[in-house]
Structure 1
Amino acid sequence: MPAEHIDPTPTPSRAERRRTRRRPRPWPAMLLAALVVVALAVGGALWAGNRGPTASPETRPSSAVGDRVDTRGGAVHALSLGPVATWDPQRMASRSDMAFAGRVFARTLTAYAPSTDPARQARLVSDLATDVGTPSQDLRTWTFTLRDDVTWQDGSPVTCEDVAYGISRTFAVDAVKGGPSDALAVLAVPRNADGSSVYAGPYAKGAKAAAGQAAFDKAVACAGRKLTFSLSMAVGDFNEMLTQPAFGPVKASVDRGVKGTYDVFSSGPYMLRGTWEPGRGGTFVRNPHWTASSDPIRKAYPDEIRYQEGLTTQTVAQQIMADNDSGRVSVSLGSAPPAIQQHITAVQSLEERSLNPRTGVVDYLVPNTRSPAFKDPLVRQALAAATNRDAYVTAIGGATAADPSLSLLPAAVPAHHGDDPVGAGTRGDAARAKALLAKAGVTTPVAFTVAYRSDPTSDKAIAALVAGWRQAGFAPTTKPIADDYFSTISDPAAAAGIDLFWSNWAPAWASASTILPPLFDSSINITAAGPGRDYGYFADPDINTLMAKAGAMVDRGEREKAWGEVDRQLLAQGAYIGLAERRALYIAGSGVRNLSANAVLGGVVEFADIAVTP
């Protein structure tokens, strides 16, 4: 899942995020392709018994504004910089937009339950479906039954065919662009010789189109309210994949098709009044045909949600801090700027109506395993041992901006662990790094070039890391890149001149299957065209095989436990170096109640049960 921009996070631009993260090449064996519990050839015993720090405690409560209430009525003002690129379920790529839509108007077969307890936010529950699905023994067939009391905003029932039609739109790759391509990757729809699907989506015409439609209808089959998915591979967490709006329903009669525009048509508690005005926003009002009895997820307390975009994060924060007539019922959808964060956390009355959740966006470093500098796993381990994550966090804004992280697995993912395979802790350990370099038998200082996406904050953060590396026997040279960062580092030519890459990542749903295979499964990344997202060309066939086994595990708890083991092995081999999990800081007016943030959905404000007082 694309990492959203959180000031001052040096994340990719919206266009780059789509290009480098939301449209993976079809995952032959990727998905969920993942378990890596392989014995290490070098340093295999390093991690056994070296426990790192546990996840740091929340610096702000998950529910921060007064007592929880069940007050209905009023209007909550949602203030955002924006822009919202689209509200089309199959086109949305932004995690924050998908989270808002999913709680307001775009229901899905399954969803993550809202909770003020971050430890319970990864709990999968049914939404449009009556349960979380029934898989076949081989995990290649999944069956769901739709609720019989869910309606669209015009009062017509949401049908199995509506869900199938929505998913079919993903296959119209020339018309429906920008959203997740997971349906193309996992559904058992045959492919042409060039790898493209034989199904070109619901807008295609002609004999081939009819054959393609028949193939899709076989893979996504409706029988009354029963919906059966046939998959091209075993997918253990397919029911979690379905939490994305891209797998949600669309009513064919309201679809504008190839025109590329989409008017919000709601299956949830709110509907858009009038039209959405890009750069300004719109007002969501109650859907008169929604019923609480049909919806186990959403409380829908306010009468209206007035979404306003085009406001800077500083303007939003100042307006809400003033707590005037509109400010008192407003909530920020973007993180407050660092300078204002310091003020909010210093003033008790403001701190009491603020949230500081983890976002799931993790910054990390990738050693180039083809580079002479980092070909040896011991040298990669030494660099990990020398990396001062605490200094990195301080440079990007301190405790309200991020938590130091040894792993790519964010705290909200069930596979998250607190282990430290290299045994250096978050402050770095120059002595341990030097010992590892001595064991590797390399000449010091070890020279290398590190590339990163440059902005003023990132420049300071990388400088903080450089200081620690130099103390440990390295001689780093920085290579700041301002434009087209991810395109640059995924170019095969980059491997010749760059030894270490900065990057970041966020899960698409609450599973490590959306983190580790997309980044480290060489069978789906490394080709003659380049490394894909495996920027460091990490390749271990045994690990690839084990990843595939993980994706085929039936039990969710055992599957995520296995992913945790995979991650430990990757860390012990120096496949990557975790840096920090980003946080956001939101503020709300004094009239907002039930304010919480959902870390599984990207650390965004939770609209499932937000309320306002008169």
Structure 2
Amino acid sequence: MRHLSPRTASAVAAGLVLALGAAACAGPKGSDSGSGSGSGGAAGKPAKGGTLTVLNSQPQEDFDPARLYTSGGGNVPSLVFRTLTTRNREDGAAGAKVVPDLATDLGTPSKNATVWTYTLKDGLKYEDGTAITSADIKYGIERSFAAELSGGAPYLRDWLIGGADYQGPYKDKKGLASIEVPDAKTIVFHLNKPEGEFPYLATQTQTTPVPKAKDTGTKYEEHPVSSGPYKVVKNENDGERLTLERNAYWSAATDEERKAYPDTIDVRSGLDSSVINQRLSSSQGADAAAVTTDTNLGPAELAKVTGDKKLAARVGTGHFGYTNYIAFNPKVKPFDNPKVRQAISYAVDRSSVINAAGGSALAEPATTYLPNQKSFGYTPYDHFPAGATGDAAKAKQLLKDAGYADGLTVTLTHSNDKDFETSPEIATALQDALKKAGITVKLQGLEVNDYKDKTRSATKEPGFFLAHWGADWPSGGPFLAPIFDGRQIVKDGANFNSGFLNDASVNKEIDEINKLTDLSAAAKRWGALDQKIGEQALTVPLFHPVYKRLYGSAVKNIVISDWTGVLDISQVAVK
């Protein structure tokens, strides 16, 4: 799961960003898809050479494939780490497809999708010229289970037979029996339940090959062995400054996704967002060949840029699977009453929420929990239609039916961080809207860590709070299961099933969809399940964020996929 702020959306987060996808040399493929907004950038055909500068606010910490939550990390890790599968590197919706990377295909499943077999391509090599083997991928996965290398996504631990008890190769020399390597080019995964979306999971950086002889444990991040087009030549201050240069042994013949135009990638992090946008706007010197993968334009900056045609032409628009919403805890009164939850659903003024989130250029109204993208199985519905500004009369009638004819008073918990998705501005907009329906809202603002601690605790969770969820990959599975699968309710850890829904029919449908290896068919059923769950009003979807980012005047071949919503630096050229 990934968390991104509308303003400084880090491309990897407390929950998520994944592997990358590809564009044609002369410009982004699929730029007419309507959902992305890649453009050719600076005039002229992209060519190899030069230095690309990346200006980011968040440091590229833990540059170890075992510790990265997903393979995006602002797209930088995917330049060094190749995985079994990756994302199709095209603009817009086409970029939400999963494609082979190190593997020859998306994997061969057993009849019940509990066994997945992959074959590696010919000619794969590390930066030192040695061959990449299936045993290296097995070892790379196994080391991600080590406590000292924690931080990666939990799926392999949850899905692999024996994964829950495995402690990594430093403690258990035998390794995971559920990963077999019958020869140097074949790797077989044995799962404890059907998982038709394993090709998506195979994009995670944990499937990056790591040669056992070169593993230096917690120091591996200082110089990880490259399987991608670039190698790390310098890592300063735990990812604050990264310098990448070409890996001479990478072959484009084995990699259809990464273009690798620049000779050098200079990643500079820890910068203030306003400084980043000013440097990109000015595009002086090296900044003309610069991009950002984690810093959005704010409302004021966007207004300034929109008024300048030349600057406006250098703004990339991205959509990422992400939903901001109101969460209810039905164990807390009065939210145990469905009519109260429905009343609030009708009372919400989404136009004021959108304004609080930065305006229509930075946020799109949501009435479905799943993001409005085909890959998630998006099925339009609005169970509590109230228009753009809410239906106070309908809300009042529902409150009366619930026994609150004189209104009621509730507390809304949110974060005090203005750059966080649950900001005071959004909370205030909701407070004003609900007042019209006779609902007095008291605001409880918490610092980010306190907010997370309280809203993710099964015992501390408030009855009414602002929440958000981002996709680990573009499918309904990692969106709906953590929030609505009753078997994922965590009593003594981080719990995300805020509504404590444990519906046998919902749980069964999740299992049935997970058996499907036809991802298009699965998407349709995720959409139908979203529509079914939405009737219970356990959440009130508010908006999906939109990302607007500047890039330097000399940057060519802009590709922004719906998988990450950020500029794909594996595609850009500066010559």
Distance 1:201 1:127 in 2: 25
SS in 2 for 1:168: helix
1:108 is aligned to 83
SS in 1 for 2:124: coil
Taking structure 1 as the reference length, what is the TM-score of the superposition? Answer: 0.85
1:318 Cα shift? 1.0
Q: Which digits, 9 at most, give the CA deviation of each residue in 1:538-566, with x for residues without a partner?
A: 33232122222221223211111111111
| 1:534 aligned onto 2:534 | no
Instruction: Tell me if the contact between 1:353 and 1:589 (Cα under 8 Å) persists in the aligned partners.
Output: yes
2:485 aligned residue (499, 517, 521): 521
Distance 2:44 2:476 in 1: 32
2:21 is aligned to none
1:336 is aligned to 297
Instruction: Tell me if the contact between 2:46 and 2:556 (Cα under 8 Å) persists in the aligned partners.
Output: no
1:504 Cα shift? 1.0
SS in 2 for 1:568: helix
Distance 1:436 1:361, change over 3 A: same
1:91 is aligned to 67
SS in 2 for 1:510: coil
Larger mean Cα displacement after TM superposition, 295-304 or 406-415: 406-415
1:189 aligned residue (137, 159, 162): 162
| 1:268 partner letter | G
| 1:479 aligned onto 2:444 | yes
Q: Which digits, 9 at most, give the CA deviation of each residue in 1:331-359, with x for residues without a partner?
A: 12222343222211221110101112123
Aligned residues: 553
Distance 1:183 1:448 in 2: 41
2:468 is aligned to 504
| 2:2 partner letter | P
1:297 is aligned to 257
SS in 2 for 1:217: coil
Instruction: Tell me if the contact between 2:88 and 2:96 (Cα under 8 Å) persists in the aligned partners.
Output: yes
Distance 1:289 1:127 in 2: 16
Instruction: Tell me if the contact between 1:87 and 1:101 (Cα under 8 Å) persists in the aligned partners.
Output: yes
1:416 aligned residue (378, 397, 400): 378
Larger mean Cα displacement after TM superposition, 368-377 or 154-163: 368-377
Distance 2:477 2:490 in 1: 18
Distance 2:84 2:162 in 1: 21
Distance 1:444 1:184, change over 3 A: same
| 1:287 aligned onto 2:252 | no
2:360 aligned residue (399, 407, 419): 399
Q: Which digits, 9 at most, give the CA deviation of each residue in 1:447-482, with x for residues without a partner?
A: 321111123472121111111112123222211111
Distance 1:551 1:145 in 2: 23
Distance 2:316 2:254 in 1: 30
Q: Which digits, 9 at most, give the CA deviation of each residue in 1:105-133, with x for residues without a partner?
A: 111111110112x1211111111000111
1:280 Cα shift? 4.2
| 1:346 partner letter | G
Distance 1:95 1:267, change over 3 A: closer
Distance 1:408 1:63 in 2: 30
1:298 Cα shift? 0.8
Distance 1:456 1:124, change over 3 A: closer
1:66 Cα shift? 4.3
Aligned positions of 1:598-609 closer than 5 A: 598-601=561-564, 603-609=565-571
1:81 Cα shift? 1.6
SS in 1 for 2:300: helix
Distance 1:101 1:93, change over 3 A: same
1:491 is aligned to 457
Distance 1:608 1:539 in 2: 42
SS in 2 for 1:598: coil
Distance 1:477 1:340 in 2: 32
**For the aligned residues, what is the CA RMSD?**
2.5
Distance 1:159 1:6 in 2: 41
| 1:202 aligned onto 2:169 | yes
Instruction: Tell me if the contact between 1:414 and 1:560 (Cα under 8 Å) persists in the aligned partners.
Output: yes
Sequence identity, in percent? 27
Instruction: Tell me if the contact between 2:37 and 2:317 (Cα under 8 Å) persists in the aligned partners.
Output: yes
Distance 1:96 1:160, change over 3 A: closer
1:142 Cα shift? 0.5
Taking structure 2 as the reference length, what is the TM-score of the superposition? Answer: 0.90
1:228 is aligned to 188
Instruction: Tell me if the contact between 2:60 and 2:240 (Cα under 8 Å) persists in the aligned partners.
Output: no
1:123 aligned residue (97, 107, 113): 97
Distance 1:442 1:538 in 2: 25
Instruction: Tell me if the contact between 1:110 and 1:239 (Cα under 8 Å) persists in the aligned partners.
Output: yes
Distance 1:65 1:98, change over 3 A: closer
1:429 is aligned to 391
2:2 is aligned to 2
2:206 is aligned to 246
Q: Which digits, 9 at most, give the CA deviation of each residue in 1:489-541, with x for residues without a partner?
A: 2334434xx321211110111111111111121222153x3781112323323
SS in 1 for 2:414: strand
Q: Which digits, 9 at most, give the CA deviation of each residue in 1:137-194, with x for residues without a partner?
A: 111000111001111111111110111111011221x21111112111101126xxxx
1:359 is aligned to 320
1:586 aligned residue (549, 556, 560): 549
Larger mean Cα displacement after TM superposition, 401-410 or 129-138: 401-410
Instruction: Tell me if the contact between 2:369 and 2:534 (Cα under 8 Å) persists in the aligned partners.
Output: no
Instruction: Tell me if the contact between 2:342 and 2:395 (Cα under 8 Å) persists in the aligned partners.
Output: yes
1:76 is aligned to 52
1:313 is aligned to 273
| 1:482 partner letter | E
Instruction: Tell me if the contact between 2:8 and 2:273 (Cα under 8 Å) persists in the aligned partners.
Output: no
| 2:162 partner letter | V
Q: Which digits, 9 at most, give the CA deviation of each residue in 1:287-339, with x for residues without a partner?
A: 11111111011111112211111221111111121122212111122223432
| 2:439 partner letter | F
| 1:161 aligned onto 2:106 | no
SS in 2 for 1:382: helix
Q: Which digits, 9 at most, give the CA deviation of each residue in 1:191-210, with x for residues without a partner?
A: xxxxx51x321111xxxx34
Instruction: Tell me if the contact between 2:327 and 2:539 (Cα under 8 Å) persists in the aligned partners.
Output: yes
Instruction: Tell me if the contact between 2:321 and 2:474 (Cα under 8 Å) persists in the aligned partners.
Output: no
1:595 Cα shift? 1.5
1:7 Cα shift? 2.2
Distance 1:562 1:354 in 2: 35
| 1:182 partner letter | Y
- Structure 2 residues without counterparts, runs of 5 or longer: 17-32
Distance 1:345 1:417, change over 3 A: farther
| 1:155 partner letter | G
1:65 Cα shift? 2.0
| 1:571 aligned onto 2:537 | no
Distance 1:442 1:493, change over 3 A: same
Instruction: Tell me if the contact between 2:417 and 2:448 (Cα under 8 Å) persists in the aligned partners.
Output: no
Distance 1:373 1:509, change over 3 A: same
Distance 2:219 2:48 in 1: 38
Instruction: Tell me if the contact between 2:35 and 2:93 (Cα under 8 Å) persists in the aligned partners.
Output: no
Distance 1:465 1:301, change over 3 A: same
